[in-house]
Amino acid sequence: MFFLVFLLTVPMAMASDVDGMQGASPPDGTKATGARTYGNYEADKVFDKDLTTRWLSAGYKDTIELDFPKAITLNSVQIAGYADPNSSASYTIYGLQNETWSVIGEKKFPLVSKLTILDPIEVTKGSYDSLKIEVNTPSSWVAISEITLGVNINTPTNLKAAAGDSQATLNWDQVQESESYIVRYGTEAGKYTETVTVTKDAYGSYVIPGLTNGTTYYFVVTATVNGIESGYSNEASATPQTTVGAVLNVTIDKDTVKVGDKFTSAISLENVSDIYAEDFTIQYDPSLFEYLGYDEVEGYKVYNTPTDENGKIRFIVASQGKEYSISDKATFLKS
């Protein structure tokens, strides 16, 4: 007794559900029915994501039907086959619309004596409630190991990752029809060991907590429509770091001062990003120092009238344009 094992996949760059295959497995809730079944090789084996199991028919011509929980838009099917001895096989694909079956694609292939990925079978693009695949071989029993679907789902784009303290914040462009998104990430580019499902509104800003500072993480996102995933977004990376709070420094222009000396102090901010205004108070000991006034620094303007209140002086300073934003470190006032 000989039999053929067929693996079905799609030509699109979908998120892979089955090792070595492209495309998406039928969504949860799909029901599979084989016209005939041999032994314990049940029809639901075709979407268990395990290439070592299969549905096996006791015949050279047979049909398997997939009934989806919701209509799915298809555009192609790709088949990989195995035959011993070599055999040819023809495939006819039917789609169910408005309770009517119609042929949406067909093709005949010669099969070799080892697993072979065949050219994709294009199908009439449309939304189908069910899919039926008829396989006809001259001398081998029909068997199907896995079925994946070629569907039209927009892939998330412009994924960006911003590092924080033990976390990363992700954002990407919205996929309008998406019901949810799946974020995958790991510490090696192209290898994603962690998975989290997020709501359809998370695209604007989603935080991944619990990351290790100093370690670079790589992220991709997929969209889910009718229980089926899109392809991967672009990969984005971020390296979380321990956060150091903003520091206001007051530095004088002399190494040493004597009683009666005048000196100028430079006031600067450190460990900040894109700061355009600052409201701060400087405190000093009036029994040791006397405040004489301040000088504005080019690009920054004092917007209040600083008054010495027994050693406390408040300043409200703002930059005079985007080019004067304070990032990392900058001096913005002298007194």
- Per domain, the residue ranges of the chain are 5-151, 160-238, 247-334
Residue 306 has pLDDT above 80, yes or no: yes
Most confident segment among 68-82, 156-170, 284-298 = 156-170
Do 247-334 and 160-238 fall under one CATH topology? yes
Residue 8 has pLDDT above 60, yes or no: no
Average pLDDT estimate for 31-45: 93
DSSP state of 130: E
CA–CA separation, 223 and 181 (whole Å) = 5
CA dihedral 114, 120, 121, 125 (to 10 degrees): 150
Q: Which pLDDT belongs to residue 2?
A: 44
Average pLDDT estimate for 70-98: 83
- 175-231: pLDDT as tens digits: 988 999 999 999 999 999 999 999 999 998 999 999 999 999 999 999 988 778 888
The SS3 of residue 324 is helix
Residue 99 has pLDDT above 70, yes or no: yes
Stated pTM of the model: 0.56
* Beta-sheet pairing, 61-82 with 116-117: antiparallel
The larger pLDDT score, comparing residue 29 to residue 11, is at 29
Residues constituting the chain = 335
Average pLDDT estimate for 26-33: 91
CB-based contact 37:56 (threshold 8 Å):
yes
Please list, in sequence order, all residues whose beta carbon lies within 8 angstroms of the beta carbon of residue 260, skipping any fewer than 6 positions away: none
- 142-158: pLDDT as tens digits: 888 888 887 778 889 99
Interior angle at CA 282, CA 276 and CA 287, nearest 5 = 165
Average pLDDT estimate for 51-59: 84
The SS3 of residue 333 is strand
Residue 7 has pLDDT above 60, yes or no: no
Q: Between 2.102.10.10, 2.30.30.760, 2.60.40.10, 2.60.120.260, what CATH number should domain 5-151 receive?
A: 2.60.120.260
Q: Which pLDDT belongs to residue 17?
A: 67
* CATH fold for domain 247-334: Immunoglobulin-like (2.60.40)
Tally Cβ neighbours within 10 Å of residue 292. 10
CA–CA separation, 252 and 334 (whole Å) = 9
Q: Which pLDDT belongs to residue 237?
A: 95
Q: Which pLDDT belongs to residue 277?
A: 80
**Of 182, 192, 181, which is closest to residue 218 (Cα–Cα)?**
192
Q: Which pLDDT belongs to residue 3?
A: 46
CA–CA separation, 212 and 233 (whole Å) = 23
Q: Which pLDDT belongs to residue 21?
A: 76
Residue 59 has pLDDT above 90, yes or no: no
Sign of the CA dihedral with 280 first, then 283, 286, and 292 last:
negative
- 265-285: pLDDT as tens digits: 787 777 777 777 888 888 888
Residue 127 has pLDDT above 80, yes or no: yes
Q: Which pLDDT belongs to residue 328?
A: 65
Q: Which pLDDT belongs to residue 85?
A: 73
Residue 12 has pLDDT above 60, yes or no: no
Residue 16 has pLDDT above 60, yes or no: no
Q: Which pLDDT belongs to residue 39?
A: 92
Q: Which pLDDT belongs to residue 173?
A: 95
CATH of region 160-238 = 2.60.40.10
